[in-house]
Amino acid sequence: MIWAIGDIQGCYKPFKELLEKIEFNPKKDTLWLAGDLVNRGEQSLEVLEYLYSIRDSIKVVLGNHDIALIAIHLGIKKSNPTLEPILKSPNRDKLLKWLMSQPFLQIDYNLGYTMAHAGIAPNFELGAAKHYNDILQQRLQSSNAKEWLKAMIKKDSPYFDPKGSNIDLERYIISSFTRMRYCYKDGHLDFKQKGSPKDLKSNELFPWFDCPTRVEKELKIIFGHWSTLGFLNREDILATDTGCLWGGKLTAVSLPDEKVVSVDCGDGIELV
């Protein structure tokens, strides 16, 4: 059995409860994890250690919170309390090396799905998205990873210009894979709006998957990242972030029959 699961974000207890509920067996089952494995939840270390222990039975994509952990590990950003246990763990280097080896995009033509944490930019064909994922993976695993990632997170690049500088192009690519929610008709991204589409006041913005100029993808896109959107299953997309961190649910969807299984996640946390 193959199960797709949305953002865990360090919520180890609900994650394990969900795995028990779906009777997950790493010897015969596979998890597709839509990124944001860590951060804000209280048990990020436990999540990462468990995933490493079953690494041959999972497919992962990197989310923005996973990138934040990598940036802290490389000395680019300051740490925070929920990630400190990872940084102080004797297994830090092993766990972070594994995390840095993960892609931004997963593709399975036989299964009929592709997966990216925030989705796939509306102006990308699937082949282009794979090409750009390969570039980001090479950068993140290179000897120059620290300087490259520092440049990536320095500022946003909402416009896609294949003739522009490599830095601006790659900033756009990493942002589209990990932080995208809304875009304009021409496909350039907006990073300010984070709420639900039903509460959107602007007539100029669209959820990226409803962009009028979006290039059709031949595979259904699994993504997370957007807790205010919640669960959404259409012919072309499967949104899996059901707000576990905020007291919502953690959700698993079986592939390809798309049976939905969820667990409640308690009161969640409050940002201060």
Q: How far apart are CA 3 and CA 257, in angstroms?
A: 10
Give residue 269's pLDDT: 53
Rg for the chain (alpha carbons), in Å? Answer: 17
**Local mean pLDDT, 10-residue blocks, the chain (272 residues):** 97 97 97 96 96 98 98 95 96 97 98 98 96 97 96 90 89 96 94 92 93 95 97 98 93 97 75 36
- What is the pTM (predicted TM-score) of this model? 0.95
Helices 64-73 and 166-178 pack at an angle, to 10 degrees, of: 120
Burial of 105 (0-12, 13-18, 19+ CB in 10 A): buried
How far lies 206's CA from each of 128, 147, 199, 203, in Å? 22, 33, 12, 8
Cβ partners under 8 Å of residue 193, min gap 6: 181, 182, 200, 202, 205
- What is the set of domains in the chain, with CATH numbers? 2-264 (3.60.21.10)
CA distances from 49 to 10, 52, 91, 141, 216 (A): 11, 5, 8, 21, 37
- In DSSP terms, 222 is beta-bridged to 115, 238
- Determine the pLDDT at residue 105: 98
Q: Cα dist. 236→61, 136, 173, 216, 220 in Å?
A: 19, 25, 21, 9, 5
**C-alpha to C-alpha distances, 155 to 4, 60, 69, 130, 215, nearest whole angstrom:** 31, 25, 18, 24, 26
Query: What CA–CA distance (Å, rounded) separates 224 from 4?
Result: 10
pLDDT of residue 81: 94
Cα–Cα dist 125/103, whole Å: 17
